[in-house]
Amino acid sequence: MIQLRYQPYELQLKHAFNLATSSRTTTPVMLVELELDGIIGYGEASMPPYLGESHETVSRFLAKVDLTGFKDPFRMDEILEYVDKLDQGNRAAKAAVDIALHDLVGKIMNLPWYRIWGLNLEATPYTSFTIGIDTPEVVVEKIREAEAFKILKVKLGRDNDKEMIETIRSVTDVPLCVDANQGWTDKQMALDMIHWLNEKGIVFVEQPMPKEQFDDMAWLTAHSPLPTIADEAFQRVQDIPRFKDVYTGINIKLMKSTGMREAKKMVDVARALNMKVMLGCMTETSCAVSAAAQLSPLVDWADLDGALLISNDIFEGMKVNNGKIILNSLPGIGVTKC
């Protein structure tokens, strides 16, 4: 019988996480364990405010999960379909169960998931490191902390976007990607900004406009000199086909997609539609980040720095060496609990 356990935890951020419309210094998470015959699989639900989930909502959802009828954890599709249909939404809560189940099954097989999927360990990408919106002095400090990274992700979407970029360019010429977090509401202004960013060595622009401005976003992508990546605009795999030609690519996050099972499907669908794929994360421990990293050899870009932004990680897992994602040979999602 598969046993489910869970407990709340609060992540402490090293710096305030400033976005276009919000700021925070902590992120609530739920730590999940699935145990069978003494083998424990670890999972995690991370709940930044925009997901609309909390310790209370995740606890209520997980209290409904009854895995006593499933004797064989290898019936993963059946188990996760059951979990998905328990209630609407609750994507982070569902992701926590999914990650723990993948970890459990991988440990039973004694194989990491990148090997189960047949992926090339050497094909992992470089991960970006996130620079939140802040004063020029703090931005420069953050850049110095991130000097080992080969690409940086810059949060934009307020009234100091050009100041942010100019400040960064005053101290480094490393490639940048930018995330406006829906902060640009006028399509012509957005296009003018993207042309300016193109001259500053930017690689792509993530979620430049509000997700509701579908037609404006399609126009922007058609005229943009840089790739545009959807983040807040989509959640589940069935959302992806309608974004072809609206965005150049998608940003897959386990907390949005309900976990590893659907994230893998998302990669396959996006590739079939000739779309670019980015793999992202929330502020998370090394548990959820390492789970996502198992997919990283499949993607164009990665932003898996979530565990590097916190001061109280309780897992060890995938590493970052000079900006490159390094997967280990541990079975499952490749983590140990500290």
pLDDT band, very low/low/confident/very high, at 156 (cuts 50, 70, 90):
very high
Domain 3-110 has CATH 3.30.465.10: no
Higher pLDDT, 50 or 232: 232
Reported confidence tier of residue 11, pLDDT bands at 50, 70, 90: very high
Q: What is the pLDDT of residues 17-68, one digit of tens each?
A: 666 556 778 999 999 999 999 999 999 999 988 788 999 999 999 999 999 9
Q: Please give the average per-residue pLDDT across 306-318, as a whole number.
A: 96
DSSP 14: E
Q: Are 298 and 252 in contact (CB under 8 A)?
A: no
User: How far is CA 80 from each of CA 96, 100, 192, 240, 260, rounded to the nearest angstrom?
Assistant: 11, 11, 44, 20, 11
Q: For the chain, where do the domains classified as CATH 3.20.20.120 start and end?
A: 115-337
Task: Give tens-digit pLDDT for 249-273.
Answer: 999 999 999 999 999 999 999 999 9
Model-level pTM? 0.94
Domain with CATH 3.30.390.10 in the chain: 3-110
Tell me the percentage of the chain whose pLDDT exceeds 70: 98
CA distance to 29, 39, 209, per residue, from 202 (Å): 32, 45, 17
Is pLDDT larger for residue 109 or for residue 14?
109
pLDDT band at 133 (very low <50, low <70, confident <90, very high): confident
Instruction: Work out the pLDDT band at 82, boundaries 50, 70, 90.
Output: very high
Per cent of the chain over pLDDT 90 is 87
Q: With respect to CATH, is domain 115-337 assigned 3.30.420.40?
A: no
